[in-house]
Structure 1
Amino acid sequence: MKKLPLLFGMLCALLISHGSASAQKGSPLFPQAPGMAAYTYRYSFPKGVEATLDTIQALGITELEVGGNAFGLAPDSLRKLLDMRGMTAPSVGAGYEQVVENPQEVARVAKILGANYVQVAWIPHEKDNFTFEDAQKAVADFNRAGKVLRENGLTLNYHTHGYEMKPYQSGTLFDYMVRNTDPKYVSFTMDMLWAYHGGQDPAKLLLKYPNRWTTMHLKDMKKGVKGDFTGLMPVENDVALGQGQLDVPAILKAAKKVGIKHYFIEDESPRVITQVPITLAYLKSLKE
């Protein structure tokens, strides 16, 4: 990690925070500290897990959504590093195949890390062509694996990724998935960028299924970029919150209303050193 870009980003964040806060009055719209999706620092963790954790901790973040591989460490080793920094991992990512083929092992790792949620972010399908059959199979797989995870005290979350927003009957394939997954075993992560990229209004989608969402990825999409049903987009199009197309205040109000339990910043851009502090300052600046 280079210190100069980090200090520059933090300085920008402080300036933005001061200016925005002085311009607005009222109670904070987002009073809590957000968590961080470890994927945001996917290029940094391989260079040094402890140094990257220290960088995240220095931003005032105590919740981390980690990948199922635990950065190549034994799960108990990663748990010790988190404990040493007063950090927790309420959500753990896992691949679709991992969850379907060996949910018991996924549960074992998640429990060592102290997680409550196991998140699947991608359903395998033919490129650019997520079909009803793909959704139907995912529903059956998620119900089955979710039952095993629930028996281990965990909740299976499927993370919206845009391609499941394709039209189906009077709604979308995502509507089909929500209606046909068992609420006892399957919940959802609202990735606000990918829901928007797939043509949905994230705030309205949250309110449409108020009892099915547990976690959220905080992210924004560059102005002028058009979405589609691929679930794919150049990472350069990820921008700091408040600088893109999404109506962040409206989404956060809806998330608060439906009781989202954990919020994680996920910035897929190559500019996280400067963008993450700006996102944090923007969140602090928002008022009811």
Structure 2
Amino acid sequence: MTRTNRPMDPAARRLLTRRSILAASAGAAAALGAVGANVVGTDKPAIAHGQLRAEPLIPERNRGIILYSVRDRISAAPDDSGVPYGFERVLARIAELGYQEVEFAGYTQSTEILGRQITPAEIRKILDDNGLAANGAHASINPATFEQQMDIAETLGMKNIGTGSDPTNSAYTADWDTAADVWNELGRQARRRGLRLYTHNHDTAYSFLLDAGPLDVNGKPTRSSGIRRLEYFFGKTDPRYVFFELDIYWAYVARFKHRKYIDRYGRERTDLFDPILNVVSQSKRFPLFHAKDGNRNSALANGYEMVPLGEGDINFQQFFETIGDADFRHANWEQDTAPGGVTNPGQSLDFAALSYTNMSELTIYRR
């Protein structure tokens, strides 16, 4: 059974206007500019006693990393590079860098390390030994294996279980309706075990549905009402059972790529996607984020090129300050392109160090 037209969170309703978002962002920027603060950087503003106090924008306990970013070193066999390899050594290094949370992207390492595959219980001990907490996982979410995935999540002590794939790759509402029914049921099962079920977006999740206009030879709509796929899914899933992890980089790619659609009358329409509004409109459904950065490059198909956090053009200061609720949000650094291959085996962990430093320097100033 699907659910639609639920009342919006009152806090979200107060914020849900483009004007209020822009005003909040502008106000934040003005306040930071007045005290000389950078968006991300090492320069600190001069703060007169009693005027402003600095607080971390992302609390220390909520700073995480998805292990996909360092997958080359998790999966590496023992070598003489001097770079950590496997779960035990890589997680120890991640903890040294300051991260307190990890999101999993698989539970295997080279069998050359132990002479067999590592177990979830052994991974949990490594987490505990290093003061790390698991905040989620990109796993395969389907009814046939969901119980097994929840068993692993429980062993690792995580509160969220999710996937890096869209609930469906379809552009049609009927397929999203079917996916919503499945996810509502799985989310219900997860909640009974103290877990939150979540899905992670790429840019296509925020492309437009084909839900209007003339039908094709297969009886499928060929035009759009202007509703985006994942935003439709918001309304079809129960907010008690289904949650979301916003990949901030892919959300800004969607803003670049998915801005035009053909309406039911054949007219081209433009609608600019707003990642901040997207979160605010469903605020309590976004506990997790991929803090992934990029440099704008309109010559590329995606409009951005991935770089370490804080080295690109995405305004994380504005983003996290405007969406607020810092205690609820968990930010996991990710960079798909972090591994340096055989020529630079230490690159992914070097990028992890740089990204943690930049994440920790995101600061909010309060009176």
Aligned to 2:100: 62
Preserved contact between residue 190 and residue 213 of structure 1 (Cα < 8 Å): yes
Preserved contact between residue 167 and residue 179 of structure 2 (Cα < 8 Å): no
Aligned to 1:86: 131
Task: Return the alpha-carbon distance in structure 1 between the equivalents of residues 311 and 108 of structure 2.
Answer: 32
Which of 39, 42, 45 is 1:20 aligned to? 42
Preserved contact between residue 58 and residue 331 of structure 2 (Cα < 8 Å): no
Where does the alignment leave 5 or more consecutive residues of structure 1 unmatched?
Answer: 1-15
How many Å apart are 1:55 and its aligned residue?
A: 1.6
How many Å apart are 1:123 and its aligned residue?
A: 2.9
Identical counterparts, % of pairs: 22
Equivalent position SS for 1:222: strand
Q: Is 1:175 the equivalent of 2:231?
A: yes
With normalisation by structure 1, the TM-score equals: 0.81
Aligned to 1:209: 282
Task: Return the alpha-carbon distance in structure 2 between the equivalents of residues 51 and 145 of structure 1.
Answer: 34
Q: Is 1:39 the equivalent of 2:80?
A: no
Aligned to 1:106: 149
Over the residues paired in the alignment, what is the CA RMSD in angstroms?
2.8
Preserved contact between residue 240 and residue 275 of structure 1 (Cα < 8 Å): yes
Aligned to 2:297: 224
Task: Return the alpha-carbon distance in structure 2 between the equivalents of residues 19 and 138 of structure 1.
Answer: 42
Equivalent position SS for 2:284: coil
| 1:243–1:134 distance in 2 versus 1, CA, 3 Å | farther
Equivalent position SS for 1:42: helix
Aligned to 2:309: 241
Where does the alignment leave 5 or more consecutive residues of structure 2 unmatched?
Answer: 1-37, 48-52, 77-85, 110-116, 210-224, 256-272, 339-346
Structure 1 or 2: more helix by fraction: 1
Amino acid at match of 1:49: F
Preserved contact between residue 68 and residue 109 of structure 1 (Cα < 8 Å): no
- Structure-to-structure mapping, 1:108-257, within 5 angstroms: 108-123=151-166, 130-168=171-209, 169-199=225-255, 200-225=273-298, 237-257=305-325
Task: Return the alpha-carbon distance in structure 2 between the equivalents of residues 66 and 44 of structure 1.
Answer: 14
How many Å apart are 1:76 and its aligned residue?
A: 0.7
Preserved contact between residue 130 and residue 163 of structure 1 (Cα < 8 Å): no
How many Å apart are 1:19 and its aligned residue?
A: 6.4
* Mean CA deviation greater in 85-94 or 114-123: 85-94
Task: Return the alpha-carbon distance in structure 1 between the equivalents of residues 171 and 181 of structure 2.
Answer: 16
Amino acid at match of 1:264: N
Preserved contact between residue 193 and residue 220 of structure 1 (Cα < 8 Å): yes
Residues matched between the structures, number: 264
| 1:131–1:204 distance in 2 versus 1, CA, 3 Å | same
Preserved contact between residue 28 and residue 287 of structure 1 (Cα < 8 Å): yes
| 1:115–1:226 distance in 2 versus 1, CA, 3 Å | farther
Which of 1 and 2 has greater Rg?
A: 2
How many Å apart are 1:167 and its aligned residue?
A: 1.8
Task: Return the alpha-carbon distance in structure 2 between the equivalents of residues 24 and 140 of structure 1.
Answer: 54
| 1:250–1:29 distance in 2 versus 1, CA, 3 Å | farther
- Structure-to-structure mapping, 1:45-56, within 5 angstroms: 45-47=74-76, 48-56=86-94
For residues 102-152 of structure 1, the C-alpha deviation after alignment (integer angstroms, 9 at most, x for no partner) is 2211111100100100011103766xx644344333212211211111111
